[in-house]
Structure 1
């Protein structure tokens, strides 16, 4: 990003926010909440309300949503003769279902929202067109990207990193069911320590299960910081979008300028 682009971004940021445009990645598992149903309406409403609170500040928000609460392609590949490509396409369709549900929830509380899919489903959503997505964001609409990148063998984490770079968003915010990245599995080790910051290289060299390596590498190559935080704690989405300290920050440091590491 050029110094001219950086200065333009700095001048257009809302006064109370560190970022002007963000990409929020919501996993499918997070949408399931207590796992008693595929989608927990309380979770989608909580996301909608916190997104609404920051869009009123002038922050532009795009989302990429996963589909693991309904169908995870990598888990089903090989079952009943289902090949990996076909399984991944089914998984992409699951992300569209989640996206439409999220759109309906957001619009029920007055947030103008558009769903764009990586392959054409014109009866239910727009096709992904980068310029159109950017225009929606500039008009204050939330854009939900569904169907991953439209190709098998790529995760929705990679889709989040790719869409973030394409629309010139400044950060990937990964909403999960854990507080961030730990130095050990907190479920097995109660002494596991939450890490405030990590470099991209530390994530890669330690093989930390934050995002897949393709997504992390894409973020590293484009100097995109990643924030991993707990979706289930009230206020965390708003804090993450506004750039307040929450969870684990990858590829940058927690300061007023968010310097890239």
Structure 2
């Protein structure tokens, strides 16, 4: 059985509200790919997107005005609930292809009886990128495809540094210099630092690509040339 892991960023599922055009096209592509072989299955790991940002900001604003201290674990839990909302939406859109409940703990005894399994965030301390890595370990997948609103990883944030260059391929050692080692809720990096460390330990490959380029996602699944950044080695 070939299992592919797609970590679907919340910025793709719900950039400000659920993107129904994306969901239609994404699920149609998944059905097409799954229909091309009986030994194929997919795992979708859902990010939090706008609901996570909006509710985390509300929490921060209230605590700031009341003089309280913002707790990272609390902010993470709020974000995790947003990932579960998006995951339930993804599962519902997959209909007959996803027979099992949304996975909230990637280390649990997981039933995978359909062609698609949907997972959400698990617990504070990291993003859903780490959940995707743990699921790849559990189901013997050698690659995680990380889909977001960026087409490639850059040497620096191109929004602030005009000299930042896109990267086609990079080793984990060099990539981890870019993202650092520490996780904070809502941290805006191409791949979570905690997940990056675990992926390097597992010798797992991660491909970062645009979630809106549906044909490019299928090219990745098919092992064809693609637009994106491969992190490995």
Q: TM-score range by the shorter chain?
A: 0.7 to 0.9
What CA distance in whole angstroms lies between the structure 2 residues aligned with 1:218 and 1:102?
26
Matched, 1:226 2:206: yes
Matched, 1:65 2:46: yes
Cα-to-partner distance string for 1:67-121 (whole Å, 9 max, x where unaligned) = 13211476555442463333322221211111121122222xx5345342326xx
Structure 1 gaps of 5+ residues are 1-11, 13-19, 120-126, 252-260
Q: Structure 1 residues 223 and 75 mapped into 2: Cα distance closer, same or farther (>3 Å)?
A: farther
**TM-score (ref. length: structure 1):** 0.73
Larger mean CA deviation between 168-177 and 84-93 belongs to: 84-93
What CA distance in whole angstroms lies between the structure 2 residues aligned with 1:166 and 1:218?
13
Q: Is residue 91–residue 102 contact of structure 2 (8 Å, CA) maintained in 1?
A: no
What CA distance in whole angstroms lies between the structure 1 residues aligned with 2:99 and 2:207?
23
In the alignment of these two chains, the number of paired residues is 215
What is the aligned partner in structure 1 of residue 130 from structure 2?
Answer: 158
SS at structure 2 position matched to 1:25:
strand
> After the TM superposition, which residues 1-261 of structure 1 pair with which residues of structure 2 at under 5 Å, given as runs?
20-33=2-15, 35=16, 38-58=17-37, 59-72=40-53, 75=57, 78-81=60-63, 83-107=71-95, 111-118=97-104, 129-133=108-112, 136=113, 140-146=114-120, 148-149=121-122, 151-188=123-160, 192-207=164-179, 209-246=189-226, 247-251=228-232, 261=233
Q: Is residue 52–residue 78 contact of structure 2 (8 Å, CA) maintained in 1?
A: yes
Q: Structure 1 residues 198 and 189 mapped into 2: Cα distance closer, same or farther (>3 Å)?
A: same
Q: Is residue 56–residue 78 contact of structure 2 (8 Å, CA) maintained in 1?
A: no
Supply the RMSD in Å over aligned alpha carbons.
2.5
SS at structure 1 position matched to 2:42:
strand
Q: Is residue 26–residue 174 contact of structure 1 (8 Å, CA) maintained in 2?
A: yes
Q: Is residue 73–residue 124 contact of structure 2 (8 Å, CA) maintained in 1?
A: yes
C-alpha deviation, 1:194, in angstroms: 2.4
Q: Structure 1 residues 117 and 207 mapped into 2: Cα distance closer, same or farther (>3 Å)?
A: closer
C-alpha deviation, 1:152, in angstroms: 1.4
Q: Is residue 13–residue 23 contact of structure 2 (8 Å, CA) maintained in 1?
A: yes
**TM-score (ref. length: structure 2):** 0.81
